Structure formats: C-alpha cells, structure tokens
C-alpha cells in the first residue's frame, strides 16, 4: 500500500467515524432553526457578520461600565434616614433572621452614611455629593435600587454578572451578544475590553470576557488606551505591509489545508483572527488618535487631567468604537471593595470615574447614539448597611468600611429601550433586603437582550449535550425598565 492510498483510507475512516451521528445532528439543527428554536451563528470566517435580531430591537450596541468590587449603594445612590436614626446601634434581629453568618449576627451595628444627597433633573433622582456629574444625567438614567444576586464573593459574583453563572469556563455577556448579532465593524473586534489603571486587578480576571465554549471569534479583545492599542500590533522593524500580507496569505493557505484534513472549525476562527489583526493595523491607530476631537470633548472626558485621564480615555474610546460598529464594549474599573477606608476610597474612585461616565452619556446623546446604545453602570453586588465586622477593636471610625451585600444593591441603565428619569424598586427601610420590584441578575440580562432584539430563551448554544444560554434556566424581562 502506498502512502497516498493509506492517507485516503484514513480520511474515509475519519469521515465515517466522525459523521455517524453528525449528519443527523446537522439535519436536526436545520429543522430547529426553521422552527425558530435556536439562534445560529456561523463558525466560519464570516461569523462576525451582522445578523438580524429575532425581535424588534431598540438598541444596537452595549457599553458596560463594570465597577468591580461592589460599590456602596448607600453612600452613592440611596439616602437612608433609618440608618441615620440607628447610627452605631445594633441592627434589629428581624433583619438578620435569614442570615447564616454568626459573625454578622453577633456584632452587626448600623453604619450611617456621612454623605449628603441632592435631587437632580426634572425627575428629582437622588445622588450622593460624590456623583454630581452622573447626577446631571438623571433624566437619562434608570436607577434600579432592588437588584439582588446569588452570591456574596467576588469571583462568583463577577462571573454571574458578566457571564450569567458563578462557574468558570462560560461565555461572557459580550460574547453572547456578538454570537447572537455579529458586529458591524469590519476592521475592529466585535467585543472589546478596556481596563482601568487603578492598580487593582479584577478578581475573576480574563474569565469575565472569555468566549467559554463559544467559538473563539467571540472572545473579548483587550485594548490599551495609550501606545499600540494591542501589544505587538505594529509590524516589526523591516517588515513591510506587503511582506506581512504575503505571510498571512501563505499562513491562511496552510491553515485551510489543515482544516480540510481535520474538519476543525476553530481553524476558520484562527484564520479570521489573523485577517482581522491585519486590518486592525490600519484601523486601531486611527481609533486611539484623539487629535480630531474638540477641546470641549477632551475637557469633558477629563483627558487632560491626571485623575480622570485613563478612565476618560477608555470612555472616549468606547464612544469611538461604537461609532465604528463595535457591538459590545466593556470597561472595568477596580476596586470598590471597601472593607475599610470607605469614605476615602469612594472619593478616589468617584473622582476618577464620575466625570468621564457622565461625559460619555451626554456625548452619546449629543451625537444621536444614545437611543441605540445601552449603557450599564454597576458592580457584582453592593455593601452592607452595617459596619465591616472584621475591623477590630480600636480602629479609627473614619477608617470604617462595609462588607459585601448581595441582597439589595443599585445598578444604573441608560439608552436604547430603557426608560430614563425613573427609579425602579426599593429595599426595606434599613437598606438590607430588596422588597419591591426585586430584579435578579438573570432578569437584568433577559431585559438587556430584549432591548437588543433577542429572546433570552432562544439565544442558545449546544454544548456537552445541553443547550446553554446567558440566563441559564431562569430570568424574565422587566417591563418597568423599558421605554
């Protein structure tokens, strides 16, 4: 037997072995698609091509300002007279009856906020004196005061808010959105991630923008706001654009031959990634060049001020990416995990993020982009109405902080499909439990997908014998949030 004959036998055997059930699965998939049971995305090189939503869409793009660590809703968004009355007193047992934490139950004392609150906009929405710029956007914002989640630890909490599950290895929200809708940008990734320079990492790390078991086309791509947007994007010295083009062409040919032999769909994703990187060599430098932005725009985003330069640059980049067709932009700022020095740390973080976040919302509105862009501001959970119990005896009260709190916290929404100028939901008078219009993380995800024109129950991907989705097996659209 010649080597050529042996290769033909191996290919035929491989085909029969791998397709015994595969042909039936292909037929079943097509039938399900015709019946509207699935959202199908190609795993070939055109997998990021724009796709029509299966519902009427109010939004086309998403900018998620993720405040990692758990911002204190009681010091930023929710004035609480009851806490002021209970200042430094033991928390009533009735609020702690359902807790399993003996440490909190044994020493919980009410922590009144030192912040002052004011009413903003025609709607009279209240914001802390640390957030005057976001307050000026009150009539565009929907403030959810009744968010709750399923965990009080950072890694699983961040995974749940970003990926819809507390487990590692699942696709992020940005991956699900680009899987369902593709991207209108031909020269930039469909899902981009921008990190803050606060010196604090994000607890769950790159898992928060992972594609999980979805094809790698949908992985979030991290950009930098200074220098090369992506490390090593520029050609090495001495390598011309023509040489680079020839190299990529030869590499693509080899990869296609390998794909023909193996049938591995990920090879198509790899070819597409190389081609996108080549196009980005031209598009990305122009993206981060702010020289054509007006001085008023640069001033609003805080580009010239040291405190706001980094987060402001990320916010301005987010707007420029949306203009260029990027589907999902995620900004991470950390950390808001203030177990101690709450007041001091909040002042630092709000000084860095408040002016740029407000500038982004106003800039999107001025350019007619807010109506088709969902803007989200929030973290994985909030902070307790009580002092952090681990602070120890003799600690300066000025250094006090709050613990993690999953039972009732605040998230802000604005833009496409969201009714601004309203507060949805309330907690009990202590600020402990969400009691009115309670909204779980899965409900938030279902509502955001609805605004983008996708039914969260139909946005599925078959993996290891079951259909997975962003909202797992729960979630409902919250009509009160919708315009």
Q: Give which of 354, 367, 368 is closest to 312, Cα–Cα.
A: 354
Domain assignment of residue 84, yes or no: yes
Is the peptide bond prior to 396 cis by the omega test (within 30 degrees of 0)?
Answer: no
Backbone region of residue 149 per phi and psi (left: phi > 0; alpha: psi in -120 to 50; beta: other values): beta
Mean pLDDT, the chain, integer: 87
Q: Copy the structure tokens of residue 255.
A: 């990869």
pLDDT tens digits along 34-49? 333 344 444 445 788 9
Q: Give which of 334, 347, 433 is closest to 384, Cα–Cα.
A: 433
Domain assignment of residue 5, yes or no: no
Name the DSSP class of 91: P
Give the H or E element holding residue 440.
strand 439-440
My answer on whether 86 and 206 are in the same domain is yes
Q: How many CB atoms lie within 10 A of CB 332?
A: 24
* For range 299-325, the mean pLDDT: 96
* For range 283-312, the mean pLDDT: 94
Per the CB < 8 A criterion, the answer to whether 145 and 194 are in contact is no
pLDDT at 230 over 90: no
Domain assignment of residue 10, yes or no: no
Q: What is the pLDDT of residue 20?
A: 52
**Of the candidates 240, 258, 287, which is a domain's last residue?**
287
Q: Copy the structure tokens of residue 333.
A: 């700022």
Name the DSSP class of 110: B
* Direct distance between the N- and C-terminal alpha carbons of the chain, in angstroms, rounded to an integer: 71
My answer on whether 89 and 156 are in the same domain is yes
Q: How big, in percent rounded to 5, are the helix, strand and coil portions of the chain?
A: 40, 15, 45
My answer on whether 331 and 235 are in the same domain is no
Give the H or E element holding residue 420.
none
**Of the candidates 246, 264, 287, which is a domain's last residue?**
287
My answer on whether 272 and 326 are in the same domain is no
CATH of the domain at 424: 3.40.720.10
Q: What is the pLDDT of residue 238?
A: 73
Give the H or E element holding residue 253.
helix 241-262
- CA 181 to chain CA centroid, nearest Å: 16
Q: Which residues contact 177 (CB under 8 A, 6 or more apart)?
A: 62, 191, 327, 328, 449, 452, 454
Q: Copy the structure tokens of residue 34.
A: 């015709």
- Give CA angle at 36 (34, 42), nearest 5°: 75
pLDDT tens digits along 346-362? 999 999 999 999 999 99
My answer on whether 219 and 269 are in the same domain is no
pLDDT tens digits along 267-283? 877 777 777 776 777 77
The DSSP secondary structure of 314-360, one letter per residue, reads: HHHHHHHHHHTT-SEEEEEEE----SS-HHHHHHHHHHHHHHHHHHH
Name the DSSP class of 226: S
Backbone region of residue 168 per phi and psi (left: phi > 0; alpha: psi in -120 to 50; beta: other values): beta
Distance CA 37, CA 35 (A): 6
My answer on whether 216 and 237 are in the same domain is no
Name the DSSP class of 397: G
pLDDT at 245 over 80: no
My answer on whether 156 and 196 are in the same domain is yes
Q: Based on the number of CB atoms within 10 Å of its own CB, is 12 exposed (0-12), middle (13-18) or buried (19 or more)?
A: exposed
Domain assignment of residue 380, yes or no: yes
Domain assignment of residue 34, yes or no: no
Q: What is the pLDDT of residue 43?
A: 41
Q: What is the pLDDT of residue 34?
A: 39
Q: What is the pLDDT of residue 328?
A: 98
Domain assignment of residue 203, yes or no: yes
My answer on whether 255 and 352 are in the same domain is no
More confident residue, 71 or 26: 71
More confident residue, 70 or 223: 70
The length of the chain is 483
Question: In which domain, by residue range, is 248 found?
Answer: 227-287
Q: Based on the number of CB atoms within 10 Å of its own CB, is 155 exposed (0-12), middle (13-18) or buried (19 or more)?
A: middle
- In Å, how far are 69, 96, 109, 389, 483 from 103, measured between CA atoms? 21, 11, 12, 7, 43
My answer on whether 276 and 350 are in the same domain is no
Domain assignment of residue 35, yes or no: no
Q: Give which of 205, 212, 146, 214 is closest to 179, Cα–Cα.
A: 214
Q: What is the pLDDT of residue 139?
A: 98
Domain assignment of residue 190, yes or no: yes
My answer on whether 193 and 267 are in the same domain is no
pLDDT tens digits along 440-468? 999 999 999 999 999 999 999 999 999 99
Could you tell me what percent of the chain has a pLDDT over 70? Answer: 84
């Amino acid at each position: 037997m010649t080597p050529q004959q042996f290769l033909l036998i191996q290919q035929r055997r491989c085909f029969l072995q791998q397709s015994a059930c595969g042909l039936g699965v292909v037929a079943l998939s097509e039938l399900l698609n015709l019946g509207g049971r699935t959202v199908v995305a190609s795993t070939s090189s055109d997998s990021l091509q724009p796709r029509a939503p299966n519902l009427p869409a109010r939004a086309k793009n998403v900018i998620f300002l993720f405040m990692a660590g758990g911002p204190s809703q009681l010091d930023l968004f929710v004035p609480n007279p009851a806490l002021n009355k209970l200042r430094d007193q033991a928390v009533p047992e009735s609020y702690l009856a359902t807790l399993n934490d003996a440490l909190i139950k044994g020493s919980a004392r009410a922590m009144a906020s030192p912040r002052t609150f004011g009413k903003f906009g025609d709607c009279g929405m209240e914001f802390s004196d640390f957030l005057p710029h976001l307050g000026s956007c009150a009539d565009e914002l929907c403030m959810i005061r009744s968010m709750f989640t399923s965990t009080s630890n950072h890694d699983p909490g961040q995974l749940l808010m970003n990926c819809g599950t507390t487990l590692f290895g699942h696709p992020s929200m940005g991956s699900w959105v680009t899987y369902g809708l593709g991207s209108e940008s031909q020269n930039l990734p469909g899902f981009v991630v921008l990190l803050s320079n606060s010196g604090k990492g994000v607890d769950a790390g790159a898992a928060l923008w992972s594609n999980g078991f979805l094809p790698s086309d949908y992985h979030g791509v991290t950009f930098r706001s200074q220098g090369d947007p992506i490390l090593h994007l520029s050609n090495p010295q001495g390598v011309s654009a023509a040489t680079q083009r020839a190299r990529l062409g030869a590499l693509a040919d080899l990869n296609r031959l390998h794909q023909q032999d193996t049938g591995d769909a990920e090879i198509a994703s790899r070819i597409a990634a190389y081609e996108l990187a080549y196009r980005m060599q031209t598009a990305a430098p122009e993206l981060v060049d702010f020289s054509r932005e007006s001085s008023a725009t640069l001033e609003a985003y805080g580009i010239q001020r040291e405190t706001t330069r980094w987060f402001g640059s990320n916010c301005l980049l987010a707007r420029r990416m949306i203009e260029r067709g990027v589907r999902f932009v995620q900004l991470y700022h950390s950390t808001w995990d203030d177990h101690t020095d709450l007041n001091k740390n909040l002042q630092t973080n709000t000084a860095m993020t408040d002016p740029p976040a407000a500038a982004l919302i106003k800039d999107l509105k001025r350019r007619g982009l807010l109506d088709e862009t969902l803007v989200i501001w929030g973290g994985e959970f909030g902070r307790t109405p009580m002092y952090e119990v681990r602070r120890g005896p003799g600690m300066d009260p000025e250094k006090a902080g709050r613990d993690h709190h999953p039972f009732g916290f605040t998230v802000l929404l604005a833009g496409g499909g969201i009714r601004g100028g309203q507060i949805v939901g309330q907690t009990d008078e202590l600020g402990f439990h969400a009691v009115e219009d309670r909204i779980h993380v899965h409900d938030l995800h279902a509502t955001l997908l609805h605004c983008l024109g996708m039914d969260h129950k139909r946005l599925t991907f078959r993996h290891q014998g079951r259909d997975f989705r962003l909202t797992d097996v729960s979630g409902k659209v919250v009509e009160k949030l919708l315009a």
